[in-house]
Amino acid sequence: MKVRYDIVVTGVGAISAAGVGILPLVEAVREKRSILQPVPLEIVGEAGFLWGKTEGFKASDFMPPLKARRFDRASLFAVAAAGMALKDAGIDPRAGNGERVGISLGCGFGGIANSEEFLRGWFQKGTEGLTPMLFPNTVPNAPASNASIEHGMKGPNVTQVQRFCSAEAAFQMACRFLEEGRADVMLTGGVDELNPVIMQGFASAGQLQSWARGFGEGCGMLVLERREAASARGAKPLAAIAGIRTVGRLLRGSEQEGADRLCGSVNPDLVSFSGCAENVPVLKNRFPEADTLAAGTIVGRSLAMGGVALAALVGLLPENRTGLHLAASPEGPYFAIDVAGGAPVKP
43-97 pLDDT, tens digit per residue, is 888 888 899 999 999 999 999 998 888 899 999 999 999 999 999 999 999 998 8
Specify the pTM: 0.92
Reply yes or no on whether the pLDDT at 26 is more than 50. Answer: yes
Rounded distance between C-alpha atoms, residue 178 and residue 127, angstroms: 44
Please state which CATH number belongs to domain 7-232.
Answer: 3.40.47.10
pLDDT in tens, 127-166: 877 677 777 777 789 999 999 999 999 999 999 999 899 9
For domain 239-341, give the fold.
Peroxisomal Thiolase; Chain A, domain 1 (3.40.47)
Instruction: State the pLDDT at residue 213.
Output: 66
339 with 239: CB under 8 angstroms? yes
Every domain range in the chain assigned CATH 3.40.47.10: 7-232, 239-341
The string of pLDDT tens digits covering residues 97-124 is 899 999 999 998 887 777 777 777 777 8
Q: Which of 172-176, 261-265, 333-337 is predicted least confidently?
A: 261-265
